Copies of this chain bind each other. A is one copy, B any other.
Amino acid sequence: MPALPVDLTIGELARRSAVATSALRFYESRGLIASERTAGGQRRYARPTLRRVAFIQAAQRVGLSLDEIATALHTLPDRRTPTKADWALLSRSWRALLRSRIDELETLQTRLTSCIGCGCLSLKTCGLLNAGDRAAERGSGARYLLGDMPEDG
């Protein structure tokens, strides 16, 4: 039993990251992670790959597509620990993304709350439900939910 195996098989990486081997191969095909091969052709992942996979998972939770994550990962070094500067750059853009997504949901929550209270189910005045009758003859549309401010009605 080697005390600290330098590289991981795809199965080990899968177990430790809780990501299916098929997903790991898919990530590799998309350039999100990289491996070396044994003489027999099997993948061996360097240990930092574990961190890369964790990064991918985190980024997905933040709401990024695999393409966006790939772009982000390409700004990080391949097989070394990222520097504080590498990370700060990425994490700041994530913060902004998270902030806007949270804000969006908070707005939705607020409108939902006020709708529960007021029972305003009218198409003309309910800020939550009234999301699109822009061209109506009375000009009632407001589209609060989609981020617009009311301009009429």
How many copies of this kind of chain does the complex include?
2
Q: Is A35 an interface residue (CB 8 A)?
A: no
Q: Tell which of A26-34, A36-44, A48-56, A67-75 binds the partner.
A: A48-56
Q: Is A99 an interface residue (CB 8 A)?
A: yes
Docked pose: A45 CA to B50 CA in angstroms: 53
Q: Is the interface of A mostly helix, strand, loop or mixed?
A: helix
Docked pose: A137 CA to B4 CA in angstroms: 7
Docked pose: A48 CA to B123 CA in angstroms: 8
Binding site for B on A (CB under 8 A): 3-4, 12, 15-19, 47-48, 50-51, 53-55, 57-58, 61-62, 81-82, 84, 87-88, 91-92, 94-95, 98-99, 101-102, 104-106, 108-109, 112-113, 115-116, 119, 121-123, 128-137, 141, 143, 145-146
